[in-house]
Chains A and B, each alone.
Chain A
Amino acid sequence: SLFKTKVPPVWRRVFRKMSQNTPDKDDQTSSNKKNISLPMSRVRLIMKSSPDVSSINQDALFLTTKATELFVQHLALASFNGSGKETNTLSYSDLAQTAEEKEVFHFLTDILPKKILARDYLQSLDQMQDDDDADF
């Protein structure tokens, strides 16, 4: 498995320990339970790639990981409630639409650009060409 080749032994023990947490009696999703699902080691790697970051305290890493899970839930649900509901499917365009509409997701517009049909793009290019010609 992936864990055996890429994850150092100490982390394998940590993950085993975390997955041993017994489920809550009330029906909560695993992301709402006290344990977290995303690997903190991977989140740490991403955090360290940010310039000027010297070191990260353990609680900060934990909170960032947990926040990322909450973020994934929030983005998925907001996008589904936005336009996905109509088709009972969450598709890329729902995400792009949400990134554009909701201010809290504006930081995602560069990586979730809206897609346009090739012919519409070519048409708008022609339009720009016509505008340029008109100037001369």
Chain B
Amino acid sequence: MAERPEDLNLPNAVITRIIKEALPDGVNVSKEARRAISQAASVFVLYATSCANNFALKAKRKTLNAGDVLAAMEEMEFERFLEPLREALEDKEKKPDSVNEKSREEEEEEEEEEEERMEEEPEVEAENDAEDEE
């Protein structure tokens, strides 16, 4: 399924806020710089995902897990992220609230939808084969 280009961009408002909070007060950030950082962030996600996926495949797993992402960060030489990432993960575990539960439900829903979609495809192919034989 082809995604529209804008679907793979991150929301500008959030990116701008993160940039502003990282820089000293009063620093101007050009519009072009903001757009470029946003695109760089999307590329970062792709790069990190690809890297993490290699670790998962090496371990013969089909599901990307937290360990794969951490291994990817180290591989990409972003070791400085490891400590804050581990902390963030620990803090998330400490809060077994509905945020985590709802997200898991969402993931299960999406996986079910994907399975349904996969079941539909073979039927289309079978019809085509039948037509060819006639």
Contacts and interface: CB of A to CB of B under 8 A. Distances in A.
28 contacts: A10-B105, A13-B102, A14-B102, A17-B102, A18-B99, A32-B84, A38-B11, A39-B10, A43-B45, A46-B49, A47-B49, A52-B57, A55-B62, A56-B64, A60-B63, A60-B68, A62-B89, A71-B41, A71-B81, A72-B22, A73-B19, A73-B21, A74-B22, A77-B22, A80-B27, A89-B29, A103-B77, A107-B76
A67 B85 contact: yes
Contacts of B29: 76, 89-90
Contacts of A72: 15, 18-19, 22, 37, 41
Interface of B: 3, 7-8, 10-11, 14-15, 17-19, 21-24, 26-30, 32-33, 36-37, 39-50, 52-53, 57, 62-66, 68-70, 73, 76-78, 80-81, 84-85, 88-89, 91-92, 95, 97-100, 102-107, 111
Contacts of A75: 37, 40-41
A38 B122 CA distance: 37
